[in-house]
Amino acid sequence: MGALSSILWAFWYILPAYFANASPVVLGGGRPIDGGRNWRDGRRILGDGKTWRGFFGGVAAGTLVGVIQYFITPGFYGSLKTALLLAFLLSFGALVGDLVGSFIKRRLNLPRGYPAVGLDQLGFLISALAFAYPVKTVSSGQMLALLILTPLIHWSANYFAYKMGWKSVPW
């Protein structure tokens, strides 16, 4: 496998996590997961930016992407069941990682929407890779490529969402 094709397969592998992470911007809203409650430091547990609708909408969107991917490249997954489980774990992992990131941001007293370089771009990715690992993984070189390139894609996608008026800040 050439370097370029190896990187493209890595993106194909991680795609459900990207969709899971991005779709809450349009699917989210409503009741926050922390129910408006504070942590013992007096600040919100997660904040208003983490909603149930965003969480489950993101998991559903990412899992659906995996099903579509199966019909495009069935050989990459082996079976629909594997593709489904992989996409679910990548999506669920991405959104759990996103919640952990917000929990850490609130403990650092960063308000909702405030950028946390590194955490915002890599938290969901590392968590997605970890959750999906038992079902299917990529090589360490491919993981390294994803760790380096994901922040660039994350930034571009958020800038696009900002320009489209879906987000109030470009990060």
Tell me the backbone φ, ψ of residue 34, rounded to 5 degrees: -80, 0
84-123 footprint of K ion as x/- string (CB under 5 A) = --------------x---------------------x---
Tell me if 34 contacts ligand CTP by CB under 6 A: no
Tell me if 121 contacts ligand CTP by CB under 6 A: no
Candidates 70-78, 85-93, 94-102, 128-136 — which segment interacts with ligand CTP by CB under 6 A? 94-102
Tell me if 170 contacts ligand CTP by CB under 6 A: no
Among candidate residues 106, 110, 131, 111, the one with its CA nearest the CA of residue 21: 131
Bridge partners for 32 per DSSP? 51
Candidates 51-59, 62-70, 77-85, 133-141 — which segment interacts with ligand CTP by CB under 6 A? 51-59
SS3 content of the chain, % helix, strand, coil (to 5): 65, 0, 30
Candidates 4-12, 23-31, 63-71, 141-149 — which segment interacts with ligand CTP by CB under 6 A? 23-31
* Among ligand CTP, K ion, none, partner that 55 touches (CB below 5 to 8 angstroms by kind): ligand CTP
**Upper half-sphere CA count for residue 16 (Cβ side, 13 Å):** 30
Which residues, in sequence order, are CB contacts of 147 under 8 Å at separation 6+?
122, 125, 126
Among candidate residues 98, 115, 105, 118, the one with its CA nearest the CA of residue 18: 98
Count of residues that interact with ligand CTP, criterion CB under 6 A: 17
Bridge partners for 51 per DSSP? 32
* Contact residues: ligand CTP, CB under 6 A: 24-25, 28-29, 47, 49-51, 54-55, 95, 98, 102, 105, 112-114
